[in-house]
Amino acid sequence: MNLWQQQPSELRPAVFLDRDGTLIEDVGALGDPEKIRIYPETVSALRLLAKRYVFFVVTNQSCVAKGEITREEVDGVNKRLGSMLTARGIHITRWYVCPHSREAKCACAKPSPFFLKQAARQYGIDLKKSFILGDHPSDVYTGDAVGTYGLYVMTGHGPRHIHELEPGRIVFHTLHDAARWIMGHPEHVRDLEKSIAQGAEVLRGGGLTVFPTETVYGLGADAYNAEAVKKIFKAKGRPYNDPLIVHVADTGDVDKLAAEVPAKARLLMKHFWPGPLTLVLRKSPDVPDLVTASAPTVAVRMPANPTARKLIATAGCPVAAPSANLFGKTSPTTAEHVRLQLEGRYDALIDGGACRVGVESTVLSLTGTRPVLLRPGGISREALEETIGSVDVPGESGPAEQAGESPGMLPSHYAPGTLFLLVDDASAYAGDEDTGVILFTSPSIAYKGVTRVLSRDGSTAEAASNLYRVMRELDECGLKRIVAERLPRDGVGAAVNDRMTRAAARGTLYKQGPKKAETRA
Q: Residue 463, Cα to own-chain centre: how many angstroms?
A: 11
Cis peptide before 111 (omega within 30 of 0): yes
Among candidate residues 28, 106, 87, 24, the one with its CA nearest the CA of residue 57: 24
- Measured from the CB of residue 167, what is the shortest distance to ligand TXA in angstroms? 15
- When asked if residue 18 is in the footprint of Mg ion (CB under 5 A), the reply is yes
The minimum distance between CB 25 and Mg ion, in angstroms, equals 10
Tell me the closest approach of the beta carbon of residue 302 to ligand TXA, in angstroms.
Answer: 10
**323: partner contacted, choices Mg ion, ligand TXA, none (Cβ within 5-8 A by kind):** ligand TXA
- Backbone phi, then psi, for 424, in 5-degree steps? -85, -30
Return the H-helix or E-strand segment holding 211: strand 209-211
- Residue nearest Mg ion, CB atom distance: 21
Window contacting ligand TXA (CB under 6 A); options: 72-80, 99-107, 212-220, 456-464? 212-220
Q: Restricting to residues 288-307, which ones interact with Mg ion according to CB under 5 A? A: none
- Binding partner of residue 18 among Mg ion, ligand TXA, none, CB under 5 to 8 Å per kind? Mg ion
* Region binding Mg ion by CB under 5 A among candidate stretches 20-28, 212-220, 305-313, 461-469: 20-28
Q: Considering beta carbons, is residue 60 or 297 the nearer one to ligand TXA?
A: 297
Element (H, E) at 27: none
Of Mg ion, ligand TXA, none, which one sits near residue 218, judging by CB under 5 to 8 A according to partner kind?
ligand TXA
AA identity, residue 8:
P
Q: How far apart are CA 28 and CA 353, in angstroms?
A: 28
Question: Could you say whether residue 215 binds ligand TXA (CB under 6 A)?
Answer: yes
Q: Which of 19, 129, 329, 375 binds ligand TXA (CB under 6 A)?
A: 375
407 is an interface residue for ligand TXA by CB under 6 A: yes
Minimum CB distance to Mg ion, residue 153 (Å): 9
Residues 413-442 that bind ligand TXA (CB under 6 A): none
Quickly list DSSP for 80-115. Answer: HHHHHHHTTT--EEEEEEE-S-TTS--SSSTTS-HH
Can you tell me which of 207, 408, 449, 507 binds ligand TXA, judged by CB under 6 A? 408
**Cβ atoms within 10 Å of 374's Cβ, excluding its own:** 23
- In the DSSP assignment, the letter for residue 436 is E
Least distance between ligand TXA and beta carbon 307 (Å): 13
Query: Scanning residues 122 to 151, which ones bind Mg ion (CB under 5 A)?
Result: 135
Q: Which long-range contacts (CB under 8 A, 24 or more apart) does 226-230 make?
A: 226/288, 226/289, 226/290, 226/291, 228/203, 229/288, 229/290, 229/291, 229/320, 230/290
Residue 145: DSSP 8-state? G
Cβ–Cβ < 8 Å for 309, 216: no
Q: Could you give the C-alpha distances from 272 to 166, 257, 387, 488, in angstroms and in order? A: 17, 19, 10, 23
Establish if 292 lies at the interface with ligand TXA (CB under 6 A): yes
- Residue 21 as a binder of Mg ion (CB under 5 A): the answer is yes
Q: Is 298 in the site for ligand TXA (CB under 6 A)?
A: yes
Q: Which does 466 bind (CB under 5 to 8 A by kind): ligand TXA, Mg ion, none?
A: none
Residue 304 interacting entry, from Mg ion, ligand TXA, none, C-beta within 5 to 8 Å by type: none
Q: Any contact of residue 280 with ligand TXA (CB under 6 A)?
A: yes
Q: Is 262 in the site for ligand TXA (CB under 6 A)?
A: no
| Of 421, 436, 380, 374, residue with least CA distance to 401 | 374
φ/ψ (deg, to 5) at 457: -85, 0
Q: Enumerate binding residues for Mg ion (CB under 5 A).
A: 18, 20-21, 135, 156
Q: Enumerate binding residues for ligand TXA (CB under 6 A).
A: 213, 215-216, 218, 242-245, 276, 278, 280, 292, 295, 297-299, 321-323, 360-361, 363, 374-375, 406-409
